[in-house]
Amino acid sequence: MKKLLLAVSVVLSASWAGAQVIVAGVSPQSIVANYTFTWADPASWGATPDFNIPGVFVEDTIMLVEDGSAGLNAQGFPVSQEGCNPLTNDLTGKIAVIYRNTCNFSLKALNAQNAGAVGVIIINRDPEVVGMGAGTDAPSVTIPVVMLTNFDGATLVNEMANGPVVVFMGNKTGLFAEDIAISPGAALAPKAGHVHSLLAQNGTEFNFDLGARIYNPGSAAQATVSLNAKITNPSGAVVYDNTVSGLSIVSGDSADVYPGSASTLPNFALSSYTAGTYTVTYTANLGGTDEYDGDNTVTYTFTVNDSVFSYAKRDTAANSLSASNFYRPSTNNQTYSVCTVINDPNASRVAATGVYFAATKATGTTPLDGEEMALYLYTWDNAFTDLNDANFPAGTAWTLTEVASGFYYYPSDLQGEVVYGAFTTPYVLVDNQRYLACVQTVNLDLYLGYDDQNYTWNTDYYLQPMFPNESDGTRFAVGFGSDLPSALGVGLVDKNSIGLAETNVIEGVAYPNPAVDNVTVSIQGDGVASLTITDVAGKIAMAKAINLVNGKSDVNIAGLEAGIYVFNVVLENGKSAQFNVVKK
């Protein structure tokens, strides 16, 4: 289960120094690598070291904590290694390793600090890293605190059984003489993570520019730096391979490679696109031995497919969109939405059928069963060219016209899983019209899914909104930041595949929803209609004739058991409406 249960604010573009912040295995050779991590920023914690400052780092031997507690936690690790009580072992001069589970992060860190630790590594219980909220004890923590994934944490712990393990955490600027680096926050990604095949039939319909910023954090000047960009297709064949070479970068400086600069790479475009996942890899080389080459490569992916458009990349293990973290606004009292912008010159080839999204709840709250999610597709009617346009609307002045909608009711506790919710009626898109597809919740315990494919340079380069969010009626063009695309996809199909059947589908809703004993059916029609109510397993729970007066009819559902039901209403003229109702 993937969760991020804390308040967040807009994430700013990484600074030059921030791009050199790493957590890396130093020795033995088996653990030498750069690890994915989050860290306790002093901006929220108060007194922790600021890794954005060059030369601020800790490098030392790691050691598991012990606090004397008995038993194993839910993940099968000793509760004593969660560090929630004063520690019984001496960590003087060591980086403490602590399992995440029960108590807050700052208490764990303070207990390690009091035992002599010079830094803290918290191993997450899930296969990703999450932001670490500043708890009550945060102002007293003066040592660096980072979090690693459960996989990377296990790699370090397993190696500790064989002898000392040394880890570096912090800013490596100036630590080496021969050293260059590139960062995911300063490279051009593909224009989307998922591209519909009907909108990418050739290179004129789908293409993108390439480029990256190369840093020189080393103390020596470099005169033979190169940047290679390589793209492989779904079968692994190389379909793009270009290099810019001969770049000179003095110590502490950087060089940009992108269209419009002194050094450029050719645009990427293919005559046709095979369905599947493509991989974009940037590699920087200094022309000799790089003393730290763990940050010389940046990778992105995009997937050509026939079902969805999204900025989120592909989660190949789940065969779905990637939803690696979950967020909600820090101050929010009513509505919260995550959205995706779609605007294409060939959009009239497809119809939008619904949205893909993921959600999870705070620990200790009720399951997702029956949770209502509102689904919307809007035309975004404000006239503007890009994010720098003086006419770009304020967050409360977006002109949106609803063109499709629906509701999704969770059939079970699908925490963290990508699900699909259908609009009541598919909507055929219009060429060059900007659309906003959103999922919205009114539950203050609900966190919505985000991916980690970084679009920071794309935002700065293309200047287009991609994945806005909404909080209490105010909309934010870059959501929680350009490095956090929403894990929301727009379901798309060939408009011809919906055929004439779409003309027989009409809007329909029921209220109140959830309901207890009675519900009012409201559809676009009058007269006698047949109503069939089925449960989520497809079993008919009720079938009867209803009489629609001004499009409404009251239905008694007191005899139904609590659960989710599908209402299917068919008018005498053959038109039908289908929607879900939750019975309490």
Q: Where are the alpha helices (DSSP H) in 150-205?
A: 150-160
Lowest-confidence pick of 257-261, 270-274, 370-374, 507-511: 507-511
Q: Report the sign of the C-alpha dihedral through residues 91, 95, 99, 105, in that order.
A: positive
Report whether pLDDT(503) > 60.
no
**Preceding peptide of 512 cis, ω within 30°:** yes
Per the model's pLDDT, the better-predicted residue between 228 and 571 turns out to be: 228
Where b means 16+ CB within 10 Å and e means fewer, 139-172 reads: eebebbbbbbbbebbebbbebbeeeebbbbbbbb
| d(C-alpha 245, C-alpha 224), whole Å | 7
Average pLDDT over residues 240-248: 97
User: What is Dmax (Cα atoms) for the chain?
Assistant: 83
Provide the pLDDT for residue 10.
25
Mean pLDDT of 525-533: 87
Fold (topology level) of 181-305: Immunoglobulin-like (2.60.40)
State the pLDDT at residue 584.
Answer: 87
Question: What are 141-200's pLDDT values in tens digits?
Answer: 999 999 998 889 999 999 999 999 999 999 988 889 999 999 998 999 999 999 999 999
The per-residue pLDDT for 324 is: 79
Quick one: pLDDT band at residue 15, thresholds 50, 70, 90? very low
What span, in angstroms and rounded, lies between the C-alpha atoms of 295 and 315?
Answer: 23
Over residues 518-537, mean pLDDT: 86
Of residues 338 and 415, the one with the higher pLDDT is 338
pLDDT of residue 130: 79
Return mean pLDDT, the chain. Answer: 90
Where do the domains of the chain lie?
A: 18-171, 181-305, 316-496, 506-583
pLDDT at 366: 82
Top-confidence residue, 6 or 293 = 293
Instruction: Say what the pLDDT of residue 466 is.
Output: 98
Out of 3.50.30.30, 1.10.10.10, 3.60.70.12, 3.40.50.10490, select the CATH number for domain 18-171. Answer: 3.50.30.30
Q: Domain 316-496 belongs to what architecture?
A: Sandwich (2.60)
Measure the CA–CA gap between 187 and 227, rounded to whole angstroms. Answer: 11
Percent pLDDT > 90 in the chain is 70
**272 pLDDT exceeds 70?**
yes
Per-residue pLDDT tens over the stretch 532-581: 898 766 678 898 889 999 899 999 999 999 888 888 898 877 788 888 88
Please tell me if the domain spanning 18-171 has the same topology as the one spanning 506-583: no
By CB atoms closer than 10 A (0-12, 13-18, 19+), residue 559 is exposed
The β-bridge relationship of strands 95-99 and 119-123 is parallel
Question: In the predicted model, is pLDDT for residue 327 greater than 90?
Answer: no
What pLDDT does residue 135 have? 87
Task: pLDDT band for 134, please (50, 70, 90 cuts).
Answer: confident
Residue 2 has pLDDT above 60, yes or no: no
Of residues 286 and 34, more confidence is placed in 286
For residues 464-469, give the mean pLDDT.
98
Long-range contact set of residues 55-58: C-beta below 8 Å, sequence gap at least 24: 55/171, 55/173, 55/174, 55/175, 56/170, 56/171, 57/168, 57/169, 57/170, 57/171, 57/172, 57/175, 58/95, 58/118, 58/119, 58/143, 58/144, 58/168, 58/169, 58/170
Whether residue 501 has pLDDT greater than 70: no
Share of the chain above pLDDT 70, in %: 95
pLDDT in tens, 336-377: 999 999 999 999 999 999 999 999 887 667 899 999 999 999
Higher pLDDT, 13 or 521: 521
CATH number of 506-583: 2.60.40.3080
Identify the DSSP state of 13: P
Q: How many residues does the chain have?
A: 584
What is the rounded average pLDDT of the residues 260-281? 96
Q: Is the pLDDT at 317 greater than 90, yes or no?
A: no
pLDDT, tens digit (0-9, with 9 covering 90-100), for 422-455: 999 999 999 999 999 999 999 998 999 999 899 9
Choice between 347 and 36, residue whose per-residue pLDDT is larger: 347
